[in-house]
Amino acid sequence: MLQSLYTASSGLKIQQQNIDQIANNISNINTTGFKASRMDFKEAIYQAMKEGENNLQRGHGALIDATVRLFVQGTIVDTGRTLDLAINGNGFFAVDGSNGEVLFTRDGIFDVTELNGNQYLVTKDGNFVLDANFERITVNCAPEEIKINSMGEISANGEVVATLGLFEFSNVNGLEAAGSNKYVATANSGEPIASNSTVKQGAYEASSVDMATEITRLIKAQKAYSVISRVISTSDEMQSMANNIRA
């Protein structure tokens, strides 16, 4: 009887985490370049109910197998703003992290900042945007005069000054979330490689979250949570009945 409580409690735990994941997706429905994620589950270990009888086994609930980020193309939204950039394809922008590491993002809402007499292309969080050689991009002209073509070539004052770094990965699901809509490469993702993706100036990529899908997943998770809660209540009632039996 007690085993049913432990088994059901594992189900409650993962469904709560599932709902938390869905809530994170919904809360980022307006986050530029955000990619929704989902949780995949697996069975916990099985135990033989009787020694020597291999076909008599009982399960021990469920576990989280993986959190899968869905790197699908979001809707391209036109803004007309010079420093808004959207990626068509599987590529990522490269930016300089606060600790000197290279981070990758799909959020192309950029700005310029002045440092030591030069103007640099930066993210809205202030991270320096990097070129194809992982160097900071200098744009010494007014922001409205910056031109960026589909190949990522940046022109300032009529001259090409840099090429945006656009990179992709052999296993994009191996990327590790670093917060603020950025990712860091890992051994599982592989090293960044040059991408053939194109860039659209004057636009940004909207979140890939689909509200209908998330609400459907939320309803299913709530139903599962409710049913598992009944299992715990039933097991508790049966335990109480067993304890109250008089000889």
What is the rounded CA–CA span in Å between residue 237 and residue 244? 11
Average pLDDT for 156-163: 88
Same domain, 112 and 153: yes
Same domain, 200 and 88: yes
Q: Is the pLDDT of residue 55 over 90?
A: no
Q: Left if phi > 0, otherwise alpha if psi is -120 to 50, otherwise beta: which for 49?
A: alpha
Same domain, 182 and 229: no
Same domain, 120 and 185: yes
Residue of higher predicted confidence among 46 and 82: 82
| Structural domains in the chain (count) | 2
pLDDT tens, position by position, 191-236: 999 999 999 999 999 999 999 999 999 999 999 989 888 888 887 7
Q: Is the pLDDT of residue 83 over 50?
A: yes
> What per-residue confidence (pLDDT) applies to 165?
95
Same domain, 187 and 233: no
Question: Would you give the distance in Å from CA 12 to the centre of its chain?
Answer: 23
- Domain that residue 25 falls in: 2-72+209-243
Within 106-174, strands assigned E span 110-115, 118-123, 147-148, 153-156, 159-163, 166-168
Tokens of 17: 């985490």
What is the rounded CA–CA span in Å between residue 3 and residue 239? 11
Average pLDDT for 72-95: 95
Same domain, 165 and 189: yes
Same domain, 169 and 109: yes
Judge contact between 132 and 196, C-beta under 8 A: no
Q: Is the pLDDT of residue 47 over 70?
A: no
> What per-residue confidence (pLDDT) applies to 70?
92
Same domain, 118 and 142: yes
What is the rounded CA–CA span in Å between residue 11 and residue 235? 14
Judge contact between 108 and 85, C-beta under 8 A: yes
What is the rounded CA–CA span in Å between residue 151 and residue 161? 13
Q: Which residue has the tokens 């193309």?
A: 73
Same domain, 169 and 225: no
Q: Which of 113, 100, 105 is nearest to 164 (CA)?
A: 105
Average pLDDT for 5-34: 91
pTM as predicted: 0.82
Same domain, 34 and 146: no
Same domain, 153 and 219: no
Same domain, 63 and 140: no
Q: Indicate the residue type of 50.
A: K
Judge contact between 110 and 119, C-beta under 8 A: no
